[in-house]
Structure 1
Amino acid sequence: MDVARPPVIETRALEKVYSAGTEAEVVALRGVSLAIAHGEFVAIMGPSGSGKSTLMNLIGCLDTPTGGQYLCDGIDVATLDREALAQLRRDKIGFVFQGFNLLPRMSALENVAMPLGYARVPNEARADRAREALAAVGLENRGSHRPSELSGGQQQRVAIARALINRPPVLLADEPTGALDTKTGEEILALFKRLRDDGHTVVLITHDPEVAAHADRTFVMRDGELHEEGPYDTRVRAHTGVVP
């Protein structure tokens, strides 16, 4: 974990209110302050309705807060226009979901390379980088296989390789082991640890305490508030001044 750099993810008193001022008003986040350093593996737990999905959407720049501040790799997200926000999301955050979201008619290599098309990377370079990403997740020999020819664990590895293709500092994983058996889930979690060791920051959203136990730190969302459950590096606290 690199504590000499500012946090890659930092929220300050983040608030999110839906349908404010109406009878349907829902306060989804209440003053959430969080600092995650480069190279950390952090889990955020919570039951349905606790606010963890809302927090994930804000960290992933898929939604905007009602109040407070969010800095992604030192950039105040609120200062960005739509185009700059899309570029930040593409370059800074890789997304991994429970359902894999692979295109069935594309090979593993084509699925992994797809985000590079939006970044206007030349075709030859796309293939090279996609092969490199597949090798990083242990699937260098499965590039020509379609999703239907891969196991669930292999499909999730392809999804992780796709998330890594733009070399983002943050990997945001939403219930990534939810559709996998226990053994395969353990293999995916071991892969996240290796990615952390390689310098990636991994933020894992989960409802399962056994999955969360693999992380360096664990937070729990309760009624829109964030509570830390795991050990917290005091050097990070001293550097950021943020107390979750």
Structure 2
Amino acid sequence: MSAVVANPAARPAAHPVIETRALSKVYSQGTEAEVVALKGIDLRIEHGEFVAIMGPSGSGKSTLMNLIGCLDTPSSGTYLCDGVDVATLDAEERAVLRRDKIGFVFQGFNLLARMSALDNVAMPLSYARTPVAERRRRASEALAAVGLGERMHHKPSELSGGQQQRVAIARALIHQPPIIMADEPTGALDSRTGQEILALFERLRSEGHTIILITHDAEVAAHANRTCVMRDGELHDSDPQAGHAHVEAKA
């Protein structure tokens, strides 16, 4: 297997990869109105876990994903990403942490229609000024790792929905991040293709990646090894003694 996906397995686990303490988010609407999106979230995720954050629309799961993904900042509380207190970082440092530690996979694939699968996957490396030959080599390896080695020169319109999502996953792997965050990654796929994508996440987890899956679907969440339930901005079914979200462990 390519080092693109195998690298995180060799990392030491001296601390949780994700840890939040009393994390809250409040949005202001106008001069007086406020919306409390998150209410004091305590969450701990270890290296190599596959965790589903499940809840209905408006429960706060997407807000939590944005904070964990360093796409937004909390109103209060603490967030440690791979042992780093994100509040101590400036905007540029947060961007570097996000690039190096987290790969994102979205429901809508977010591929550029005029570019081949290879160029879509290689694109994040262009921002890091990686030499062209190295970009293409690593993108080729990432596509091979998700089973698309023979389709790398096809454009998104020439690929099925499942293949496009595999391209998106390969792009998320290109920086060899320890964390993969997937927001409703099967929402635009049929049931069979969705199962194939979830099996791919399970394989990536077995190879050392930490997978955080955002979903409203209990059947999708069942593929994870832990399920955290969000309702009205709160994390329910928590284990106060362990400090972990409630675990529904697979046999």
Question: TM-score interval w.r.t. the shorter chain?
Answer: over 0.9
Which is worse superposed, 174-183 or 43-52?
Answer: 43-52
Deviation at 1:19, TM superposition (A): 1.1
Deviation at 1:20, TM superposition (A): 7.8
Letter in 1 for 2:37: A
Deviation at 1:21, TM superposition (A): 9.4
Residue 144 (structure 1) aligned with residue 153 (structure 2): yes
TM superposition score normalised by structure 1: 0.92
The answer for unaligned runs of 5 or more in structure 2 is: 1-8, 246-251
From the superposition, tell whether residues 80 and 150 of structure 1 become closer, same or farther in structure 2 (CA, over 3 Å).
same
Counterpart selection for 1:47 from 56, 69, 79: 56
The answer to whether the 8 A contact 1:98-1:179 is kept is yes
From the superposition, tell whether residues 123 and 228 of structure 1 become closer, same or farther in structure 2 (CA, over 3 Å).
farther
Residue 82 (structure 1) aligned with residue 91 (structure 2): yes
Residue 190 (structure 1) aligned with residue 199 (structure 2): yes
Deviation at 1:243, TM superposition (A): 4.0
Alignment of 1:16-165 (within 5 A): 16-19=25-28, 22-165=31-174
From the superposition, tell whether residues 22 and 131 of structure 1 become closer, same or farther in structure 2 (CA, over 3 Å).
same
The answer to whether the 8 A contact 1:17-1:27 is kept is yes
Q: Secondary structure at the match of 2:111?
A: coil
The answer to whether the 8 A contact 1:108-1:145 is kept is yes
Deviation at 1:117, TM superposition (A): 0.6
Deviation at 1:49, TM superposition (A): 1.1
Distance 2:120 2:13 in 1: 36
1:165-191: per-residue Cα shift (whole Å, max 9, x none)? 000010000000000000000000000
Distance 1:100 1:47 in 2: 21
Residue in 2 that maps onto 1:178: 187
Deviation at 1:5, TM superposition (A): 2.5
Q: Secondary structure at the match of 2:33?
A: coil
Distance 2:244 2:186 in 1: 29
Q: Secondary structure at the match of 1:214?
A: coil
The answer to whether the 8 A contact 2:45-2:244 is kept is no
The answer to whether the 8 A contact 1:29-1:225 is kept is yes
Letter in 2 for 1:50: S
Deviation at 1:4, TM superposition (A): 4.6
Q: Which runs of 4+ in 1 moved over 3 A?
A: 1-4, 20-23
The answer to whether the 8 A contact 1:218-1:228 is kept is no
The answer for unaligned runs of 5 or more in structure 1 is: none
Distance 2:81 2:197 in 1: 25
The answer to whether the 8 A contact 2:23-2:76 is kept is yes
Counterpart selection for 1:207 from 209, 212, 216: 216
Distance 2:131 2:85 in 1: 31
From the superposition, tell whether residues 69 and 145 of structure 1 become closer, same or farther in structure 2 (CA, over 3 Å).
same
Distance 2:236 2:91 in 1: 32
Letter in 1 for 2:167: V
Deviation at 1:119, TM superposition (A): 1.3
Residue in 1 that maps onto 2:3: none
TM superposition score normalised by structure 2: 0.90
Letter in 1 for 2:183: D
Question: For this pair of structures, how many residues does the alignment match?
Answer: 235
Distance 2:143 2:49 in 1: 22
